[in-house]
A = this chain, B = another copy of it.
Amino acid sequence: MSLDTTARLLITCPDKPGIVAAVTNFLFSHGANINALDQHSTDPEGGTFFMRLEFQTPHLDVTSEALKDAFARTVAERFGMDWRMNHAGKPKRMAVLVSRHEHCLLELLWRFARGELHCEVTDVISNHPVHREQVESFGVPYHYVPVQKDGKDEAEARIVEILDGRVDLVVLARYMQILSPAFVDRFAGRIINIHHSFLPAFVGADPYRQAYEKGVKIIGATAHYVTADLDQGPIIEQDVTRVTHRQNVTDLRDLGRDLERQVLARAVRWHLEDRVIVHGNKTVVF
C-alpha cells in the first residue's frame, strides 16, 4: 500500500444501530477498498461512537471531493457525524518549539530525517540561540525568538507571525514558556506538549524533583494536547520506567529523557497518521 493511494476517514457521532454498515457500504459502493477499520463505542445505548477507516483510492468511481460531498449528504448528516477525510499522501506541516533541552527536538528531527515521521518540518523556534547549527543541518529553518522579561506578548506575536497559516501541528518539545490562552486557541487541537511526569502526578515545574521528593518507585512522561489549563489537556500517550532509592534527581532526569523522547515521538507519529480523536478531555487512539 502506498501512502499516495491511501485515505483516512475519522468519525465521531452518537452511537446507534447501522453506522458501520452505512459507512462501509458507502465506501464499497464507490470503489474504495477498506484496509483498516477500528471502532469504539463508549456505550451502545446512548454513548458516543468513534471510527477510523483507512481505504485505498485507485478504484474510486468519483473524485475525492465528490466522495466527500456524497458522504456528507448520504451518511454523515443522517447520523450527526463529526468527521474528517484526509489523504495520507499529503504530509502534515509541523513546527517545533524548544527551549534549552534539545533531546526531544533531536529525536523528532532524526526520525523525520530517517523517514519515520511522514511530515514536513517547517520551522524550529527556540528562546535559546544554541541549537541553530544542529537544526539547520537537517535542512530546517531555525528561528531564535528570545523571551524578554515582560516581553512575553511580543515573543508570542513573533511566533504567530512565523507559524500562521503554515502549520498543521505545533510540537512543544520541552518548550518551557507558558503559552497564552489566545495562542492555544489559535492552534486549538494542533499543539502537542511533552510533560516530564506521569500526569496527573507532578504538574508544574521540575517534576523530576517532585518525584524524587515523593519517593515514587516509577517515573513517567506524558504527551498531551495543549489546552488553556496547564498540563491538563487530553493525554495521547504515557510511558514509565522503574526507579529505586539509588537514583537522585539527576539520574531521574537522565532516565526521564529517554522516556520523553519515546513518548513524544509516538504521540507525534500517531497524530500525523490521523490515529487520534479528541473527545472532551480524553483521546481515542486507534
Residues of A bordering B, CB below 8 Å: 1, 17-18, 20-22, 24-25, 27-29, 31-42, 44, 50, 56, 59, 103, 106, 110, 114, 116, 137, 198-202, 214-218, 220, 234-240, 244-246, 248, 254, 258, 262, 281-285
Q: Is there an interface contact between A21 and B25, defined as CB atoms closer than 8 Å?
A: yes
Question: Are B44 and A245 in contact, with the CB atoms below 8 A?
Answer: no
Which of these, B20, B106, B234, B235, contacts A24 with CB under 8 Å? B20
Contact B35 A246 (CB under 8 A): no
Beta-carbon contact of B17 and A20 below 8 Å: no
Instruction: Tell whether, in the assembled complex, residue A235 and residue B220 are in contact, meaning their CB atoms are under 8 Å apart.
Output: no
> Closest approach, in angstroms, between the C-beta of A97 and any C-beta of chain B?
20
**A279 vs chain B, min Cβ distance (A):** 8
Nearest CB in chain B: distance from A75 CB, A = 12
Residue of B nearest to A35 (CB): B44
Q: B residues within 8 A CB of A31?
A: 17
The one of B18, B56, B110, B199 that contacts A106, using a Cβ cutoff of 8 Å: B110
Copies in the complex: 4
Which residues from B are CB-within-8-Å of A25? 21, 24-25
Q: Which residue of B lies closest to A220 (CB)?
A: B218
For A20, give its contact among B1, B20, B234 (CB under 8 Å).
B20
> Is B284's CB under 8 angstroms from A245's CB?
yes
A31 to B202, CA, bound (A): 42
A59 nearest in chain B by CB position: B17
Does B215 contact A198, Cβ atoms closer than 8 Å?
A: no
Residues of B within 8 A of A248 (CB): 42
Q: Please indicate the chain B residues that have their CB under 8 angstroms from the CB of A39 in the complex.
A: 36-37
Distance to closest chain B CB from A198 (angstroms): 7
Q: Of the candidates B32, B44, B284, which one forms a contact with A56 in the assembled complex, judged by CB atoms under 8 Å apart?
A: B44
CA distance A110 to B218 in the complex (A): 26
Contact present for A283 and B21 (CB under 8 Å): no
User: Are A217's CB and B234's CB within 8 A?
Assistant: no
Q: Which residues of B contact A50 (CB under 8 A)?
A: 245
A200 and B40 alpha carbons, distance in the complex (Å): 30
A–B pairs, 25, beta carbons within 8 Å:
A17-B31, A18-B28, A20-B28, A21-B21, A21-B25, A21-B34, A24-B24, A24-B25, A25-B25, A33-B44, A35-B41, A37-B37, A38-B38, A116-B254, A199-B201, A199-B216, A200-B201, A201-B201, A215-B235, A215-B282, A217-B237, A218-B238, A218-B239, A245-B282, A258-B262
> Shortest beta-carbon distance, A189 to chain B, in Å?
15
